[in-house]
Amino acid sequence: MPLFKTRSAAVCGIDALPVDVEVDLYRSGMARDFMLVGMPDTAVRESRERIKSALMNSGFGYPNQAVTVNLAPAHVRKEGAGFDLPMALAILGAMGTFKGLDKHLAVGELSLDGAIRPVRGALSVAVCARDQRIENLILPSENAAEASVVDGVNVYGVTHLAEVVAMLHKPEAFAPVRHAPGKPSAAASESAPDFRDVRGQTTAKRGLQVAAAGGHNVLMIGPPGSGKTMLAKRFAGILPPLTFEEAIETTKIHSIAGVLPPGAGLLHTRPFRTPHHTISDAGLIGGGTGSPRPGEVSLAHNGVLFLDEFPEFPRNVLEILRQPLEDLTVTVARSNMTLCFPASFMLIAAMNPCPCGYYGDPTRECRCTPAIIQRYLGKISGPLLDRIDIQIEVPAVPYKELRSGEMAETSADMRSRAARAREIQQQRGYANARMPTRLIRKQCALDDTGERTLEMAMRRMSLSARAHDRILKVARTVADLDGSDTVAAKHIAEAIQYRSLDRNYWN
C-alpha cells in the first residue's frame, strides 16, 4: 500500500498555516476511484480532474488504483486551487517517481496540460516555510519574486509539472530565485503627481503637510472643481518611504487579496485606495463568503484610503469605519473562525458642503433648502467626525491665482519636511496620530498661554474628550514641523483651526 506525503500551506487571514498532503494508493473494486478528505472547499474538490489530466498530458500517466488524499490538519478549511501541485507530486511519489520531499513545500494551480498557474498569498507561504524550517519552496514562477524576499528559504519558480519533476531528480541543475531590490519608495514617489501643479489652496496644502508629517486623518470640504480630488491624489507622494517591515506586511495583504501584479516583488510605494461610494460594508471592511478576505481598509494599510463624495457612501458603511480608525485593525468574525486584519491607514475624505455643492460659496447661489443641507451633512455622524483630526475648507480658486505664473511648492520639498518630522517622532517610538493616550500629557505639555487657548476653544466649541486629545496630537505635529521641543500657543491655535469646520457646518 504505497503511502506518500508532501507539504503545502493554507492561507488563513494574512498568514499561512502548514498543511500535510498525504496520498495512499490501494486496490479497490472501483479502479481509479479518488477520495479527498480534510475539509476541502469546492475548488480543492474539483482538483481531481485537473490533476488527472495534468499527469496524463505531462507523460506521467495515472495510477490504476484508488487514490485517497488527506489534507491535514483536518480542522483547517482548505481553499483555492493552490493544492493541485502538492497533491500531484504526492501521487507521483506514491507511484514511485521520486523519494521523500520532507525538505520541500509546494503550492500551485495546475492547468490540464500540466502548466502551473499563480496563486494568492505566496509571500505568506514563504514566511510559513521559513518558520517551519523547510529549506525549499516550489511555487509558480509568477509568484517567485514576492516570495524571494524572505530570507532562509530557497525559492524555485516553476512553469510546468514536468519541470518540477526534473528539478527533484537533478536539483543541482536549478538555481533558486534571488531577491532583486526594487525601486526605492522615495524615487518612485517622484514620478507621482506633484503638488506644484495645484494653483492656490495654500491653507489646504499646509493642512495636508501636517497630516503627512503626523499620520493624521483629513476631511476636505469645498465646492465642485475646487481641487479636492487633485490634492488628495498628490497626498501619497509626500508621505515618508515605506520601511522594509511595512513593505513586507503591505505586500502580504495585497498578495492574499489577489491584487498584486503578476511577477511583482515587494511593494515599494504606499498604497492609495479609492473605492467607489457604491461599495458594500464587506468590500470596505473585509469578509465575504467562505474564508474572509481583506477589504479596502486593509489594502490601504500603511497607506491612504481616499473616500471621495464622502456623504454618498451608505451610512452603515461609514459607521463601521469608526472601529478601524480607532483600533487600527479589523476583526471579522464567522461561526467557524475569527480573523484579524491590519488596518493602519490614513483616511482622506472629500465632500461638497451640500448636494448642489455651493452652500456658502460667495459667487454661486445654493439651491438647497436648510432641511436638505442638514440631511446631507447628517450622513456624517459626530463620532466619525471626532476621529478625523484635520478638517480643511477648500474654496474655489480665484482667477488671478489660477492664472498666476508663480511656481508652487513641490512634493519633494513637502516630503522632505514630513520625513524630518517623522524622524523626530520615531525617536519617541510612534507617529503622533498613534500616540498612546497615557503619554499625551508628557509629550504635549503646554505653557499657561497654551492652556488658556485650549480651554477657551473647548468651551466655545463644545469639543469632546476625543477631540481634545486629537488637537494636542496635531499641535505636537505642528511643533515637530517647526523643530520645536515644546508645544507653544501658536501650535495649539493652528491645531484648533483644523477642528472648526464641523462646528461651522454641522452646528
Looking at the DSSP bridge assignments, the partners of residue 4 are 23
Mean pLDDT of the chain: 89
pLDDT(124) > 90: yes
pLDDT at position 507 is 63
| pLDDT band at residue 1 using 50, 70 and 90 as cut-offs | very low
- In the chain, the N- to C-terminal Cα span, in Å, equals 78
Average pLDDT over residues 70-78: 90
Selected residue with higher pLDDT from 261 and 453: 453
pLDDT tens digits, one per residue of 34-67: 889 998 888 888 898 999 999 999 999 988 888 9
Tell me the DSSP string of 68-113.
EEEEESTTSPB-SSTTHHHHHHHHHHHTTSS---TTEEE--EEPTT
pLDDT (0 to 100) of residue 408: 79
Mean pLDDT calculated for residue range 477-495: 93
Phi, psi of 33 (to 5 degrees): -75, 145
Task: Look up the pTM and report it.
Answer: 0.88
pLDDT in tens, 138-152: 999 999 999 999 999
pLDDT at residue 3, as a whole number: 85
In angstroms, what CA-CA distances link 316 with 90, 284, 311, 350?
48, 11, 11, 18
Q: What are the pLDDT digits (tens) for 456-467?
A: 988 888 888 888
- For each of the domains in the chain, give its residue range(s) and CATH number, in order of start: 3-173 (3.30.230.10), 186-430 (3.40.50.300)
Question: CB count, 10 Å around CB of 402?
Answer: 11
The Cα-based distances of 455 to 160, 291, 462 in angstroms read: 70, 49, 10
Tens of pLDDT, residue by residue over 200-255, are 888 999 999 999 999 999 999 999 988 899 999 999 999 988 989 999 999 999 99
At 443, which amino acid appears? Q
Task: List beta partners, residue 116.
Answer: 110
User: Which pLDDT score, from 0 to 100, does residue 30 have?
Assistant: 57
Q: Report the DSSP pairing between strands 304-307 and 346-351.
A: parallel
**C-alpha angle with apex 112: 110 to 115, nearest 5 degrees?**
50
SS (H, E, C) 396-417: CCCHHHHCCCCCCCCHHHHHHH
- Please tell me the predicted confidence (pLDDT) of residue 372: 94
Cα–Cα distances in angstroms (integers) from residue 28 to residues 32, 34, 60, 66, 96, in the given order:
8, 11, 21, 6, 19
CA distances from 152 to 128, 133, 218 (A): 11, 8, 41
Cell of 435: 500616540
Cell 524615487, residue?
187
The set of cell numbers assigned to 192 is 507621482
Contacts of 198 (CB under 8 A, 6+ apart): 205, 227, 230, 231, 234, 408
Residue appearing with cell numbers 527533484: 168
Instruction: Name the pLDDT band for 13 (thresholds 50, 70, 90).
Output: confident
Specify the length of the chain in residues: 507
Work out the pLDDT band at 314, boundaries 50, 70, 90: very high
Residue corresponding to grid cell 500657543? 489
